[in-house]
C-alpha cells in the first residue's frame, strides 16, 4: 500500500483537485496573489482593498477561516454597541460586514440565470456595502497581513485589530465541513487536507 504524503503530491495534482472539487457557479477558479490562494474575482477587488481608506475608529477582526471569527464578531460588536440586544437581532453580515466576501461568493452568474435571485447587499458587493456603513465599524476579514490595506501594512493607520488563531487540526476539520455545506466542495476529507497543508485553499498561503 502506497501512502501519499503532502510532500509527494505534485503542484499539478493539487491544482487538479482544487479545480475538480472546489469550483462551482459562484467559485469559477483560483489565482495566487502574493503567495495567497484566492478566488478569481479577487483580482477585481485587489487594488481597491489595497488602497482602502482605513478609519482608525473601526475594529478589524482578522482571522483564518473557521478559527472562531463569528463568536468574536458577536462579542466585539456587543461591546462596541453597549450590549444592545435589540439591534443584535439584525443579521451579523449587516452589523459586522465581511470585507472581501463577494470574492468568495460571486453570485453574478446566478443573478443572470435564476429569475428573481437577489443576494443581500453585503454579499452582492461587499466593498460598496462596507463603504456605506457608518463608523465605528466592526469589520471582518480573512485576508492575511500581506493583503490588507496599505495603510495598515505601513502602520500609517492603526485601527484596533483583533487576531484569532486556532489549533490547525480543528481548523482543518471545521473548514472541511463548512466547505461541504456552504462553499460547494465535493471532494473527500483526504483531498481537502492535502489542499489545506499545501496552502491551496482559499485564503491560505504557502
Q: What is the 3-state secondary structure (H, E, C) of 50-79?
A: HCCCCCCCCEEEEECCCCCHHHHHHHHHHH
Q: How confident is the model at residue 126 (pLDDT cuts 50, 70, 90)?
A: very high
Class of domain 30-165: alpha beta
SS3 140: strand
Say how far apart CA 35 and CA 140 lie, in whole Å: 21
Domain ranges of the chain: 30-165
Q: How many CA atoms lie within 13 A of 11 on its CB side?
A: 2
Pick the closest to residue 77 from 178, 168, 162, 192 (CA basis): 162
Distance between first and last Cα of the chain:
29
Cα distances (Å, whole numbers) of residue 82 to 79, 87, 88, 96: 5, 10, 11, 15
Q: Decide: 200 and 14 in contact? Cβ < 8 Å.
A: yes
> Beta strand pairing status for 138-141 and 160-164?
unpaired
pLDDT of residue 4: 55
Exactly one of 27, 41, 142, 194 is catalytic; name it.
142
Average pLDDT along the chain = 94
CB burial of residue 145 (10 Å; 0-12, 13-18, 19+): exposed
CA 98 to chain centre: 8
pLDDT tens-digit profile of 94-122?
999 999 999 999 999 999 999 999 999 99
Give the contacts of 16 (CB within 8 A, at least 6 positions apart). none
178 labelled catalytic: no
- pLDDT, one tens digit per residue, over 34-87 is 999 999 999 999 999 999 999 999 999 999 999 999 999 999 999 999 999 999
Amino acid at each position: 500500500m502506497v501512502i501519499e504524503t503532502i510532500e509527494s503530491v505534485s503542484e499539478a495534482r493539487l491544482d487538479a483537485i482544487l479545480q475538480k472539487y472546489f469550483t462551482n457557479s459562484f467559485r469559477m477558479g483560483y489565482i495566487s496573489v502574493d503567495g495567497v490562494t484566492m478566488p478569481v474575482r479577487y483580482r477585481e477587488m485587489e487594488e481597491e482593498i489595497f488602497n482602502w481608506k482605513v478609519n482608525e475608529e473601526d475594529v478589524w477582526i482578522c482571522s483564518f477561516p473557521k478559527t472562531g471569527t463569528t463568536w468574536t464578531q458577536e462579542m466585539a460588536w456587543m461591546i462596541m454597541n453597549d450590549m444592545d440586544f435589540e439591534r443584535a437581532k439584525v443579521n451579523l453580515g449587516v452589523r459586522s460586514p465581511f470585507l472581501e466576501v463577494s470574492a468568495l461568493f460571486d453570485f453574478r452568474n446566478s443573478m443572470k440565470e435564476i429569475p428573481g435571485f437577489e443576494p443581500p447587499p453585503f454579499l452582492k458587493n461587499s466593498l460598496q456595502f462596507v463603504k456605506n456603513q457608518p463608523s465605528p465599524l466592526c469589520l471582518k476579514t480573512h485576508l492575511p497581513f500581506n493583503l490588507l490595506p496599505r495603510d495598515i501594512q505601513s502602520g500609517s493607520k492603526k485601527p484596533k485589530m483583533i487576531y484569532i488563531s486556532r489549533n490547525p487540526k480543528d481548523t482543518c476539520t471545521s473548514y472541511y465541513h463548512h466547505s461541504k455545506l456552504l462553499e460547494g466542495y465535493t471532494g473527500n476529507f483526504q483531498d481537502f487536507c492535502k489542499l489545506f497543508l499545501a496552502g491551496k485553499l482559499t485564503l491560505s498561503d504557502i
